[in-house]
């Protein structure tokens, strides 16, 4: 049954073990700490956790530089702790996805160490080498401004090696069948330990041709099918959620025309348009981006997000649009990064304005796809711009008003906990928000419940309606005789509009999913609605009792 595809309607929560909860008091988050917080996550209503890298690593790129794929970094615990965690998650109906970082290894990985020491090493061809510095070595850096080149000379190897990212992250030669076999082995290993799949890092680079002669790297899409088949043979309901910031015309190549490649991809296209819409109060480019990404195989799904652990990448907006987003959300140079993005968290970008925060999350939860929430977003955590690069948005979770926000009993947390001011742990923390029915945390819990009660969003056909105001985005989802309408006013002013465009000929009753109120068309057939500034509403179309109306199938 197609309804069995759990990821079509999941609520994903992304977290880093290192900064979530420290149980043993050494200042570093760990699996035992995370284990103790599983009931918190279950209470929030999330049903999948995406763990950022936790494997053994020198930690120069927050774990995205792995030196042992088959272990837990000892700072976070042991493999035993990991299995306790996946078991605990499973008991609570929560699935676990983990980061799979196989475009490159750490330069401290034994494979690279062996490869560089001896031209005849069996690992030499696991990496990408060149005798001379290739002509395009100063092109295609992922971290411009910080990263100077993509080819660096290794004195021991007496050759240059290729690195799409930092120089301590040598690229794996993914075209080598031995490397491909190893990638499958890594996936198989973690599947046995209880995960339901992988957030695959940097997918377009993993499958790109690599080498000194390559000027326009072609993607080897077959590789995606190999990964997919392996996963499904080993564990039928496991998935890959691909990090692939690609243009809409390439989407189908990643999903596979027959849905035989990646099950999920992050929707970077919609993400950027969404921030532009929030910055400009113009919903039209967002509507267009949604439209452009609607088409995909039925079994595929988008991952929708607002902010993640990286910078908000605005690289695909027009120059004018990008400047608008910078101006509204990151005017200071210190808030910007890599010439293309903003490194702040969402809450400070929106100046903590609850109306706009709710609007933004309501959008993320109701656009076509599966929402991916970042830890701390549920309490509107802030950032610390004094930390370098992307670390500003990776500070420890704020649990309480205890020292260091209750994250650790140690005086030296791995990253400083945000302290003082509106976003400091003294004001922004889980403990206080739990007790306050109007808090962001309790609002988020209600939003998650509402999303679960509207499976049409994950499954249904989405239609973009045009209620005649450029700042209003209205979507209708139809699925098996059930319909949901979600309407967002991006304007800073109240608006009145006619929603009869989204309703059937006879006019249908709209039941507000949040407050149960209902509205109908007037005698002339118009369905007038008045929305306050930044208001959002989710409606079920038809019958008096929406739970009754929702037919179980
Ligand atoms: C991805 C990750 C990023 C990391 C990079 C290199 O883009 O999201 O955090 O630095 O890959 O692995
Ligand atoms: Ca610890």
| pLDDT tens readout for residues 198-207 | 999 999 999 9
Percent of the chain, pLDDT > 90? 90
Catalytic hit among 22, 201, 310, 313: 201
Q: Is 243 a catalytic residue?
A: yes
Return the best residue to mutate from 55, 58, 64 for the ligand 1 pocket (most ligand atoms within 8 A of CB).
Answer: 64
* Structure tokens belonging to residue 292: 């452009």
How far, in Å, from the CA of 18 to the mean position of ligand 2? 8
- The pLDDT, as a whole number, for residue 525 is 83
- The phi and psi torsions of 451 (rounded to 5 degrees) equal -65, -40
Whose Cα sits closest to atom 9 in ligand 1?
Answer: 310
Strand 518-519 and strand 510-512: the pairing is antiparallel
| pLDDT tens readout for residues 361-391 | 999 999 999 999 999 999 999 999 999 999 9
How far, in Å, from the CA of 442 to the mean position of ligand 2? 28
Distance CA 50, CA 193 (A): 15
CB of 310 within 6 A of ligand 1: the answer is yes
- The pLDDT, as a whole number, for residue 481 is 84
Q: Set out the domains of the chain in order of their start, with CATH numbers.
A: 110-162 (3.90.400.10), 456-552 (2.60.40.1180)
CB of 101 within 6 A of ligand 1: the answer is yes
- The pLDDT, as a whole number, for residue 339 is 85
What are the DSSP E strand ranges found in 447-531?
Answer: 461-465, 472-479, 482-489, 495-498, 510-512, 518-519, 528-531
Catalytic hit among 243, 282, 311, 358: 243
- CA neighbor of 439 nearest in space, from 428, 451, 449, 450: 428
pLDDT of 553 higher than 50: no
Percent of the chain, pLDDT > 70? 97
How far, in Å, from the CA of 121 to the mean position of ligand 1? 28
Q: Is 201 a catalytic residue?
A: yes
CB-CB contact of 302 with 9 (8 Å): no
Distance CA 410, CA 27 (A): 5
Instruction: Report residues near ion ligand 2: CB below 5 Å.
Output: 22, 24, 26, 28, 30
Nearest atom in ligand 1 to the alpha carbon of residue 310 is 9
How far, in Å, from the CA of 202 to the mean position of ligand 1? 7
Q: For residue 383, count other CB atoms closer than 10 A to its CB.
A: 24
| Averaged pLDDT for residues 120-134 | 98
Whose Cα sits closest to atom 5 in ligand 1?
Answer: 64
- The pLDDT, as a whole number, for residue 546 is 47
| pLDDT tens readout for residues 56-107 | 999 999 999 999 999 999 999 999 999 999 999 999 999 999 999 999 999 9
- The pLDDT, as a whole number, for residue 524 is 85
Average pLDDT, the chain: 95
- CA 106 → CA 66, 99, 109, 127, 388, distances in Å? 5, 15, 5, 12, 20
- The pLDDT, as a whole number, for residue 552 is 52
pLDDT of 544 higher than 70: no
SS3 69: strand
- For tokens 């599947």, the residue is 191
| pLDDT tens readout for residues 322-365 | 999 999 999 999 999 988 999 999 999 999 999 999 999 999 99
pLDDT of 195 higher than 60: yes
Residues 6+ apart with CB under 8 A from 238: 191, 195, 196, 197, 231, 232
pLDDT of 145 higher than 90: no
CB of 377 within 6 A of ligand 1: the answer is no
Q: Minimum mean pLDDT among 230-239, 439-448, 510-519, 539-548: which range?
A: 539-548
* Rounded (10°) angle between helices 268-280 and 354-366: 150
Read off the pTM. 0.96
- The pLDDT, as a whole number, for residue 545 is 47
- For tokens 């993640």, the residue is 308
């Amino acid at each position: 049954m197609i309804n069995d595809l759990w990821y079509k309607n999941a609520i994903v929560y992304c977290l880093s073990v290192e900064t979530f909860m420290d149980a043993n008091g050494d200042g570093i988050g760990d699996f035992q700490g995370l284990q103790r917080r599983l009931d918190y996550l279950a209470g929030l209503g999330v049903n999948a956790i995406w763990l950022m890298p936790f494997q053994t690593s020198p930690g120069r790129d927050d774990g995205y530089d792995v030196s042992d794929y088959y272990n837990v970094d000892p700072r976070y615990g042991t493999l035993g702790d990991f299995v306790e965690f996946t078991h605990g998650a499973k008991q609570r109906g929560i699935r676990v996805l983990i980061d799979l970082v196989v475009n490159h290894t750490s330069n401290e990985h034994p494979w690279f160490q062996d490869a560089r020491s001896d031209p005849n090493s069996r690992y030499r061809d696991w990496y990408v080498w060149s005798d001379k510095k290739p002509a395009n070595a100063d092109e295609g850096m992922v971290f411009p401004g910080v990263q100077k080149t993509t080819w660096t000379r290794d004195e021991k190897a007496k050759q240059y090696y290729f690195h799409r990212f930092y120089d301590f992250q040598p690229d794996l030669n993914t075209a080598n069948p031995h490397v491909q076999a190893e990638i499958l082995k890594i996936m198989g290993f973690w599947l046995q330990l209880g995960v339901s799949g992988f957030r695959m890092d940097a997918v377009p680079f993993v499958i790109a041709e690599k080498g000194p002669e390559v000027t326009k790297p072609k993607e080897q899409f077959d590789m995606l099918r190999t990964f997919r088949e392996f996963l499904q043979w080993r564990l039928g309901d496991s998935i890959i959620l691909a990090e692939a910031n690609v243009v809409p015309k390439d989407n189908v190549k990643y999903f596979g025309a027959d849905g035989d490649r990646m099950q999920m991809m992050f929707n970077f296209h919609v993400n950027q348009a969404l921030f532009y819409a929030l910055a400009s109060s113009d919903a039209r480019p967002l509507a267009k981006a949604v439209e452009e990404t609607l088409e995909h195989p039925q079994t595929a799904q988008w991952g929708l997000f607002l902010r993640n652990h990286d910078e908000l990448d605005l690289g695909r907006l027009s120059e004018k649009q990008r400047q608008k987003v910078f101006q509204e959300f990151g005017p200071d140079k210190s808030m910007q990064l890599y010439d293309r993005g903003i490194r702040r968290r969402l809450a400070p970008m929106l100046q903590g304005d609850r109306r706009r925060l709710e609007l933004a999350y309501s959008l993320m939860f109701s656009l076509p796809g599966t929402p991916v929430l970042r830890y701390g977003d549920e309490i509107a955590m802030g950032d610390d711009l004094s930390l370098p690069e992307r670390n500003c948005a990776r500070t420890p979770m704020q649990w309480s008003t205890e020292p260091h926000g209750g994250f650790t009993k140690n005086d030296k947390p791995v990253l400083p906990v945000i302290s003082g001011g509106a976003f400091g742990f003294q004001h922004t923390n889980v403990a206080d928000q739990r007790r306050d029915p109007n808090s962001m945390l309790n609002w988020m819990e209600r939003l998650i419940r509402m999303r679960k009660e509207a499976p049409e969003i994950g499954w249904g056909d989405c239609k973009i309606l045009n209620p005649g105001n450029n700042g209003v985005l209205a979507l209708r989802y139809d699925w098996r005789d059930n319909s949901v309408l979600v309407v967002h006013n991006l304007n800073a002013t109240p608006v009145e509009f006619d929603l009869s465009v989204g309703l059937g000929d006879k006019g249908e009753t709209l039941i507000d999913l949040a407050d149960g109120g209902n509205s109908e068309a007037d005698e002339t057939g118009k369905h007038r609605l008045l929305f306050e500034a930044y208001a959002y509403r989710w409606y079920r179309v038809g019958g008096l009792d929406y739970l009754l109306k929702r037919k179980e199938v």
